[in-house]
Amino acid sequence: MLKSLLIYLILISYSSLYAFQLDKKLKKDDNKFWSAHYNVPKYSFIGLVGLSAYEGSQTRLGKTSWKSLDSVVMSQVITEILKKSTKRNRPRDTNSPNEWNKNGNSFPSGHVSGMTAMVTPFILEYQDDYPMIHLLWTLPLYQIGGRLKAQAHWQSDVIGGFLVGFGSGYWASKRDFPLLLYFDGDKSYVGLRYKF
């Protein structure tokens, strides 16, 4: 299943790149609004770890936060595999979006995939009860804008990152139990269901 998901993500990104000529190098913009995007994933992740530790896994919020952590870890593993295999150059290093298999690590965007992976389980869990939860989509959208303005990614890189993050978040949200850590009465599970 993971292999077919990776192939699907690569095909979508390649097709968007060549069929629609999506990738354009944007003018670099280092203003404070866009440059602050570097800190959002870091502080959001720290908050997520704190929330997960505080809530545990017995409450709805706790289970969702642990699923979100699973999603972030999964998205970052997939992102790193894709970066190492595609080796695409970043816009700040070249004027051509077609420089693949060089020395780059542009495809897909890790910032976008991580932020999307983080918010997706919360949105899927609470969207029926709290429709305003969809405002969390502004976090990955802000990452998309920041990465493009910093010339760190091409447009297809951030789309690929969004798809990786959403896929990871959807996968994690559909699991009955978190993968990383789970408490069940007198049993605790860490990692890939290691019982202690």
Query: How many domains are there within the chain?
Result: 1
Q: For residue range 114-123, what is the model confidence (pLDDT) as tens digits?
A: 999 999 999 9
Backbone angles phi, psi at 189, to 5 degrees: -125, 135
pLDDT at residue 196, rounded to an integer: 40
Q: What is the pLDDT of residue 20?
A: 46
CA separation, residue 161 to residues 10, 56, 112, 140, 180 (Å): 11, 29, 5, 10, 22
> Tell me, what's the pLDDT at 18?
53
Q: Quick one: which of 80, 48, 83 has its CA closest to 66?
A: 48
| Averaged pLDDT of the chain | 81
Percentage of residues of the chain with pLDDT beyond 70: 79
If one compares 65 and 100, the residue with the highest pLDDT of the two is 65
Predicted local confidence at residue 190, as pLDDT: 45
pLDDT in tens, 152-187: 888 888 999 999 999 999 999 888 766 665 555 555
Examine the pLDDT at 193 and tell me if it is beyond 50: no
Whether pLDDT at 194 is above 50: no
Q: Number of C-alpha atoms within 13 angstroms, CB side, residue 196?
A: 7
**SS3 of 180, please?**
coil
* Maximum mean pLDDT: which of 27-31, 153-157, 190-194: 153-157
- Give the count of alpha carbons within 13 A of 107, CB side only: 28
Instruction: List Cβ neighbours of 41 (8 Å cut-off, separation of 6 or more).
Output: 111, 114, 115, 118, 143
Residue 124 predicted with pLDDT over 70:
yes
Does residue 135 surpass a pLDDT of 90? yes
Q: Does the structure show a pLDDT above 90 at 15? A: no
Q: Which domain holds residue 137?
A: 2-195
184: phi then psi, degrees, rounded to nearest 5: -140, 95
